[in-house]
Amino acid sequence: MSVTLDKPVPDFSAQATSGQEINLATLAGTQLVIYFYPKDNTPGCTTQGQDFRDMHADFVAAHTLILGVSKDSLRTHENFKSKQSFPFELISDSDESLCRLFDVIKLKQMYGKEYEGIERSTFLIDKQGVLRREWRKVKVKGHVAEVLQAAQELNG
């Protein structure tokens, strides 16, 4: 089962930085951006995280919580978050359960070899837990500003 636009997102529980356990059910009443990225400390993922960091105050003003997700360990996430001063939590999805729920594990190629990895994707969930927007195969440049605009419109 995976998420569908304009349908409630199934409840999930996941371990995040700062010793937090994230439960979708406990975030009811909060608008949420969940962005999936391939790997901590890589150029595109770092830039994307920095864009979310740099616009964080605008997301807060739009009453929108940001969560980043990759398969990296919590230890790697803590280092990445600290090094980049991210004001939001990162979820460790080492068992790929969240990645599978949001259908972001895709067959990729590098150096002629095929492997499964995270396709850079972002999801906007409204205060009732309903998936309202999704961006797949994300290109980093300009993406966060587009997500912010959608969050502002949805909250407005």
**Measured torsion, CA atoms of residues 33, 37, 39, 42, in degrees rounded to the nearest 10:** -100
Average pLDDT of span 94-107 = 94
Residue 85 has pLDDT above 90, yes or no: yes
Buried b / exposed e over 24-53, threshold 16 CB at 10 Å, is beebeeebbbbbbbbebeeeebbebbebbb
Q: Above pLDDT 70, what percent of the chain?
A: 100
Catalytic-labelled residue, pool 9, 32, 45, 148: 45
Check if 45 is active-site.
yes
The predicted-structure confidence for 26-50, as pLDDT tens digits, reads as follows: 999 999 999 999 999 999 999 999 9
DSSP character at residue 88: S
Q: Domain segments of the chain: what residues?
A: 13-144
Average pLDDT of span 80-88 = 98
Cβ atoms of residues 125 and 9 within 8 Å: yes
- Does CATH number 3.40.30.10 belong to domain 13-144? yes
pTM given for the model: 0.95
Cβ atoms of residues 151 and 123 within 8 Å: no
Buried b / exposed e over 130-148, threshold 16 CB at 10 Å, is ebbbbbeebebeebbeebb
What band does 121 get if pLDDT is binned at 50, 70 and 90?
very high
Residue 57 has pLDDT above 80, yes or no: yes
Please report, for the chain, how many H helices and E strands are present, in that order. 5, 9
CA 79, distance to chain mean position in Å, is 18
The predicted-structure confidence for 101-117, as pLDDT tens digits, reads as follows: 999 999 888 888 898 88
